[in-house]
Structure 1
Amino acid sequence: MHIFCLSNIIVVALFTVLNLAVPIIPASSTALSPRSPLCANVPLSGIQSRLDRSNFFPSTLQARKETNTVLWKAPRSETYVILTMRDRIGGNAVCTLLDMAYIVASTHIKSAGDGVIANGMFEMTGENGLLLRIWNSNNHQTTYGVLSAACMALVQYMTVTAFGSVSFHIFDGVSEVGQGELN
């Protein structure tokens, strides 16, 4: 009889431990819903499932001010930019500079293959003293393929909105690999 009672106590203890491992909040709860930035040009893209999901709990903090950053995905790529437009610049100078940077990166890929940008920095000067600068960031390296995709994303965004000076962060998948500015 003593062994029977002892075995019942062990079974009850095991079920108690197993019950504690089951979540109390249902999986459909908003507290456990993944959060990710919204991609402006492809809101239902898979980009949302590949962004950082480390913050699973809703924040009670509100933004101190409105931000004017936009997440824009490059077509047919895992590359996207988070950009902040500054001033509008009329004419074709911005579009021409971004097109030339895209052509230089694409030509490099065709002739030497994809690789990291030389010395961690890409600079190109355009008409009217415009300067495009892109550099490595976040302890990652920007490749010519990512550079060309970022230029394409910037042109695509500015074609929809307006061309102008901009600062941006470049992501390849979930990793920030570069930053840049066009002034």
Structure 2
Amino acid sequence: MLNSLTTDSQADRTLLLVDDDEAFVKRLARAMEKRGFLPETAQSVAAGRGIALSRPPACAVVDLRLEDGSGLDVVEALRERRPDCRIVVLTGYGAIATAVAAVKIGATDYLAKPADADDVTNALLSRTNTRPPAPKNPMSADRVRWEHIQRIYELCDCNVSETARRLTMHRRTLQRILAKRSPV
């Protein structure tokens, strides 16, 4: 995969990975390093912005939702300091509105988690405007529903009653859903 990078200069292989899931970001950094990138990691918006402003990389992978704010703030900082930066936004809560917002402020691509290193590499190195292929294993309707419920639950600060009210669902039904494992 080293040959697929555009140039031989060290600066063109720099990669910023911003995600608050420490285990995920470490695994992705190792995988991307094997693919010829020089990864640097951050686990917050503040740390990501700091790296983006002081040492803007050629490529970046940014999680949309971080504990201290939105990954879109990091995307904006990257665009400000390095307009040619290839940026992929990752999220576990894929939605059309957030994908549009990410692309409008300068993201090159938008991937839903779980995305593997091959997906990320392909998105970073893609230079064409062709449509991506349909996913081989799309999420089931049950999984999409479960993800939506989890997102609303988190937005309500894990308040079951408020979440049930927003979802127009009985509180006990919601509690049963939350107690189950995620569908595949």
TM, length-normalised to structure 1: 0.25
Q: Which has the higher contact order (CA 8 A, sep 6+)?
A: 1
Identify the structure with the greater strand proportion. Answer: 1
- Higher helix content, 1 or 2: 2
Larger CA Rg, structure 1 vs 2: 1
